[in-house]
Chains A and B, each alone.
Chain A
Amino acid sequence: MSRIVIIGAGQAGGQAAASLRQLGCKDDIYMFGDEPHLPYQRPLLSKQYLSGEHEEGRVFLRARRFYEDQHITLRIGECIERIDVEARAVVTDKGETLEYSDLILATGSRPRRLKIEGSDLDGIHYLRTLDDVALIKKLMQPKKKLAIVGGGYIGLEVASVAKTLGLDVTVIEMEDRILKRVTTPEMSAFYDQLHTGRGVRVLKQTGVSGFAGEDGRVTKVLCGDTEVDADLVIVGIGIIPNVEIAEAAGIQCENGIVTDDHCRTSAPHVYAAGDCSNHPNPLLGRRLRLESVPNAMDQAKVIAANIMGQDKVYAAVPWFWSDQYELKLQMVGFSADGDTQVVRGDQAVNAFAIFYLKGDKLVAVDAVNSARDFMAGRQMYGKKFDARRLADPAVDVKDAVIEG
């Protein structure tokens, strides 16, 4: 009997199970998830679910009935503790051993935690799971002082929701600009002005040295000589891929679980997808470990196809999105790969896109409220562009391509 085991019931795990059935897989499928929930969409946690625009039901990827209809055995609230790649078996936290014909590692990642003075005080939160947000939502009351440690996408999304809900918000960033790890100085400056304009305090070049509290609850964030008053702290300083069980099983790991271009790990019949995977990208010519939904979904689809006997390579241009206030940011590729920037649209009305060219080849687009330019980036990635025509708003983006 064949049994496919999926470790991790998140974006990648859920998609892998669905894609397997879509491709006609008749094997048993067991999906283990240590969170007590059906697979759900993390992006909503710092956006429409946090703001209250969507209720909890909207967060789940598929209804419970789907897994029953498709005979997918969901083992929710159960953790896999050990993998035995020789015996091709996994062991659950309840001590049950289960053999697999194929194993999919979709273990995701976890927030990097601060280990400094006062970091275990109440009121200091991390935002990764539905349960984290359920708690944070209750604490995000108007007028409360919220300090956000880390000016990355998650921190800034939380800032925009909190500011809109009427909290007093301070973002504390260690670098000299927000979003430094993920975008260009131009985009950082745009988002800095956006937040500052809405009344968020953005502190840069400010390292957090500790927290002070009263009666076990946080009251201040200590940043060297500066102090920031806080009733609530949310820390968003990056993630750590969940590789420990793979590593313990002798599967090659290095900044994630190392895979080949078919999403296969170093162990036979073991695949990895999503935040936990370190994979080669043939379009970019280098290895990547990505934290994005499209990456998790696409890798899951590739793995399902390969388990079903196809010969599929994972080769996709990375893309991502972030919603802050009424602005929708959509990104393709890595802006750091470019040497020239071309702006289309108008920053003053919050609708513009920056096209990044390397020579004349398109390598990235950051689009703010400009979905057409974002799609242009996805469809025309790697094509050659005439920078002068691209900059001309009268020229359609398609007509700025240099043919041949």
Chain B
Amino acid sequence: MAKITFVKHDGDKIVLDGEPGLSVMNVAVDNLVPGIDADCGGECNCATCHVYVDESWMPKVGMPHDAEEAIMSLNPDRQPNSRLSCQIKITEDLDGLVVKLPEFQF
């Protein structure tokens, strides 16, 4: 299991256990984390699962892939640490991961 902390835009924290193999988006929707709609079910089509990865975790989480980058690129709130949570696969390595939920998704 990997502990994942979702930080709401108002600062509230939700700490959840993520099963390796699932995506960060899966953990969010299985636990009704607000602001992650995931309309397309994780196929990089909807961009409604946007998160800001805590800067210190970016090296481990990595940069978005091309299709992910393309679908986020017109979003004015896109940050250098933006990722689509459906594209972040949970591994034991990500135990402790912190992601912020962007205000524009509320």
Q: Which residues of A contact B26 (CB under 8 A)?
A: 63
Q: For the complex, give the distance between the alpha carbons of A293 and B46 in Å.
A: 11
Q: Are A375 and B73 interface neighbours, CB within 8 A? A: yes
Q: Are A62 and B30 interface neighbours, CB within 8 A? A: yes
Q: Which residues of B contact A301 (CB under 8 A)?
A: 37
Give the A-B pair count, Cβ closer than 8 A: 66
Q: Are A66 and B31 interface neighbours, CB within 8 A? A: yes
Interface residues on A, range: 20 to 34
Q: Are A375 and B41 interface neighbours, CB within 8 A? A: no
Q: For the complex, give the distance between the alpha carbons of A18 and B71 in Å.
A: 26
The answer to whether the Cβ of A186 comes within 8 Å of any Cβ in the partner chain is no
The answer to whether the Cβ of A328 comes within 8 Å of any Cβ in the partner chain is yes
Q: Are A398 and B74 interface neighbours, CB within 8 A? A: yes
Q: Which residues of B contact A18 (CB under 8 A)?
A: 29, 32
> Within the complex, what minimum Cβ distance (angstroms) separates B32 from chain A?
6
The answer to whether the Cβ of B34 comes within 8 Å of any Cβ in the partner chain is yes
The answer to whether the Cβ of A73 comes within 8 Å of any Cβ in the partner chain is no
The answer to whether the Cβ of A181 comes within 8 Å of any Cβ in the partner chain is no
Q: For the complex, give the distance between the alpha carbons of A58 and B43 in Å.
A: 11
Q: Which residues of A contact B47 (CB under 8 A)?
A: 375
> Within the complex, what minimum Cβ distance (angstroms) separates B4 from chain A?
15
Partner of B39, one of A58, A65, A294: A294
B25-76 residues at the A interface, CB under 8 angstroms = 26, 29-32, 34, 37, 39-47, 67, 70-71, 73-75
> Within the complex, what minimum Cβ distance (angstroms) separates A237 from chain B?
25
Q: Which residues of B contact A66 (CB under 8 A)?
A: 29-32
Q: Which residues of A contact B39 (CB under 8 A)?
A: 293-294, 297-298
B54-106 residues at the A interface, CB under 8 angstroms = 67, 70-71, 73-75
Q: Which residues of B contact A293 (CB under 8 A)?
A: 39-41
Q: For the complex, give the distance between the alpha carbons of A360 and B100 in Å.
A: 39
28 residue pairs of the A-B complex, CB under 8 angstroms, read: A43-B40, A43-B41, A61-B41, A62-B30, A63-B30, A65-B30, A66-B29, A66-B32, A69-B32, A293-B41, A294-B39, A297-B39, A301-B37, A321-B45, A328-B44, A328-B45, A330-B45, A369-B67, A370-B70, A371-B44, A371-B70, A372-B70, A372-B71, A372-B74, A375-B47, A375-B73, A376-B74, A379-B74
In the A-B complex, the 7 residue pairs with the closest CB atoms: A371-B70, A371-B71, A41-B41, A372-B70, A63-B30, A321-B45, A297-B39
**Interface residues in chain A, defined as those with a beta carbon under 8 Å from any beta carbon in chain B:** 18, 21-22, 41, 43-44, 48, 58, 61-63, 65-66, 69-70, 293-294, 297-298, 301, 321, 323, 328, 330, 369-372, 374-376, 379, 397-398
